[in-house]
A and B are shown apart, each in its own frame.
Chain A
Amino acid sequence: MNNTIKFKIDAKEIVAEKGKTVLEAARDNGVYIPTLCNFPGVPPKGGCRMCTIKINNRFMTSCTTPAAAGMEIESNTSEISNLRKGIVELLFVSGNHFCPSCEKSGNCELQALAYKYQMMVPKYPYSFPQKDIDASSPKLIKDQNRCVLCQRCMKTIKTDKGERYFSFSKRGSELEVIMDPTLCESMTDEVAQLAMDNCPVGSILKKDIGFVEPIGTRKYDKEPIGTDIDG
């Protein structure tokens, strides 16, 4: 039985295994679709909407949509790029993203997406919300000013028994990701580093170290995000 399907993204033919999502199939075929909340190995939830594409003229999230034969998909169009840029701008104004003073600057996916879409200034007004910084854990700092609530830390950083170090607290506009004080007490350096690396922004930071990589050598200094996929 033939286990592959064919469809098109921006007129490029994509050959994919059955059962893959549009996002996975695109990446396997060297087509970059930007993501923020999506993370390899974690079931997609379509939360951030960065991976929005147009399938047969309808907006869908590529991370949650199974690829199907014959789909006609638009991704890299000015209409969709503007939508994605709008999402980045909303995230910038809804938190306090002071790039010049952030340890993650240069390695931050949100910032890299802003660079990709050439955000010179967000078109929305800055909200400057009042947020806290939790530095009570021995290994980590959780800066709520920069959190985009993507849940990547909650879903990827767990103990051997599967307990989560991070969880949601409060609701609505006060929703935030907090650290479990007991579990974080015994967190190893490796887990702390992984938590920092898996955070797309600078909301989870490893203590006692920062600004290690000089400007010019960081992940997104020279090449836009996604270059590793679409070259």
Chain B
Amino acid sequence: MSKKIIATASLAGCFGCHMSILDIDDRIIDLVELVEFNKSPVDDIKKFTKHVDIGIIEGGCCNSENVENLKYFRENCDILISLGECAIMGGLPALRNGIPIKECLNEAYLDGPTVGLNTEKIVPNDPELPMILDRVYPCHEVVKVDYYLPGCPPRADLIWDALVALLTGSEMDLPYEVIKFD
């Protein structure tokens, strides 16, 4: 059997979900037998070099780059998984969703308690910077997502069981302890 190909990305996330992937401990040796990684922070491949079987997305969409990256993943992956609360519902970045964007930027760069070094009172405006969105969007509100693995981060056992089920085509066992939102 040829190895399945996996790609991962962290959008508006904290890399905690990627840490949880590593938390499968020595099973990572088994994983290497089963899969090959393509575009991912794990191997630092920046662009897809081939079509991918499973794309794993951590984090929601808070700026234009996240949206672009997510669409890029959808185009290049057969199966797309939202991994963790941020990808599923925006997570902590989405705490800003009830606050107007101008108010957020002012608090972050002009009025907040830690802006002393910003003596010229500049809100970052370099054209190279991705445009911040009006609010943080869950991934499935931007592209079609096939599976969801909740948790903050998702338990390593949940990630492992889901990957093994997908890779081998077997039924997934979901014990009560592995589905948690925190």
Contacts and interface: CB of A to CB of B under 8 A. Distances in A.
Which secondary structure dominates where chain B touches chain A?
mixed
Contacts, number: 69
A120 B92 contact: no
Interface in A86-144: 96, 98-102, 105-106, 111, 114-115, 118, 120-122, 125-126, 128-131
A126 B174 contact: no
B1 to A, nearest CB: 28
B177 A118 contact: no
B149 A100 contact: no
Interface residues of B, number: 28
Nearest to B100: A130
B97 A100 contact: no
B99 to A, nearest CB: 8
B90 interface: yes
Interface stretch (B4-12, B50-58, B67-75, B135-143): B135-143
B166 interface: no
Given A126-B90, A128-B94, A130-B98, A120 B182 contact: no
Which secondary structure dominates where chain A touches chain B?
loop
Nearest to B84: A100
Contacts of B48: none
B181 A96 contact: no
B179 interface: yes
B100 to A, nearest CB: 9
A224 interface: yes
B82 A100 contact: no
A13 interface: no
Contact of A121 (B88, B91, B135, B177): B88
B32 interface: no
Contacts of B61: none
A201 to B, nearest CB: 13
Interface stretch (A24-32, A166-174, A191-199, A215-223): A215-223
A126 B138 contact: yes
A129 B179 contact: no
Given A98-B91, A121-B88, A223-B176, A215 B182 contact: yes
B166 to A, nearest CB: 14
Interface in A17-66: none
Contact of A99 (B138, B147, B152): B152
Interface residues of A, number: 27
Nearest to B85: A100
B174 A118 contact: yes
A224 B94 CA distance: 28
A100 B177 contact: no
B169 to A, nearest CB: 20
Given A100-B152, A126-B138, A106 B176 contact: no
B95 interface: yes
B95 A120 contact: no
B28 to A, nearest CB: 23
Interface in B104-142: 135, 138, 140-141
Given A120-B150, A215-B182, A128 B141 contact: no
A121 B148 contact: yes
Contacts of A131: 98
A130 B157 CA distance: 36
Interface in B17-58: none
Interface of B: 82, 85, 88-92, 94-95, 97-99, 135, 138, 140-141, 147-150, 152, 174, 176-177, 179-182
Please give me the 3 A-B residue pairs with the lowest Cβ-Cβ distance, nearest first: A99-B181, A100-B152, A130-B98
Given A121-B140, A222-B176, 7 more contacts: A98-B85, A98-B89, A99-B181, A100-B181, A120-B179, A126-B138, A130-B99
